Amino acid sequence: MLPGDLIARESAFDERTAQDLPAAWDCLGQVMDPEVPVVSVVDLGMVRDVEWVDDHIRVKVSPTYSGCPATELIEQLIAEALMEAGFRNPQIERVLAPAWTTDWITEQGREHLRAYGIAPPAGSGKRALIDAETPVITCPHCGSQDTEVVSQFGSTACKALYRCRSCQEPFDYFKCI
């Protein structure tokens, strides 16, 4: 028996097993991106897989950007959420390939982004960005398509700065990669 086992057994949960993986997904659906706190790590497409290995849960996580300072925090939040839900010693595995793409953001995630005032990625991440036509970005505030880019880089690595020519409001655009 390991130190900590006793505490885990005193928790409100019975021993978690492979049968509880759907509950783990539900739990991860509640873990929000700390920088965009309306979108869960599942809706962002960061959680690639959840599996049961050697009596433990293992979560495969794809970071969004190489230098995203939230990556470690997100991994920590995932581990904490799972532990709170009764999964002991969750293993978090960082997966780089295939590289995370905005194509993995779910429809629900896109809706939540829009409602939060961030225009969701337009078009496909597979298309080359160079020489490609600039996609039409819809203003998340008024729905106008008459918008312009202010800067390709915004308040976080994943966002660009835009401005709406119709309602004059600035907004963030979740870059397509």
Residues in the site for other proteins, rule: CB under 8 A? 63, 65-69, 96-101, 125, 128-130, 150-157, 161, 175, 177
Q: Give the number of other Cβ atoms within 10 Å of residue 110's Cβ.
A: 19
Pick the closer one to other proteins by CB: 109 or 154.
154
Look at residue 108 and give its three-state secondary structure. Answer: helix
Nearest distance in Å: CB 19, other proteins: 32
Judge contact between 63 and 113, C-beta under 8 A.
no
| Tokens (6 digits) for 149 | 């880019």
Nearest distance in Å: CB 96, other proteins: 4
Q: How far apart are CA 159 and CA 35, in angstroms?
A: 11
Look at residue 61 and give its three-state secondary structure. Answer: strand
Nearest distance in Å: CB 102, other proteins: 10
Q: How far apart are CA 79 and CA 92, in angstroms?
A: 7
Nearest distance in Å: CB 74, other proteins: 14
Pick the closer one to other proteins by CB: 19 or 66.
66
Pick the closer one to other proteins by CB: 6 or 96.
96
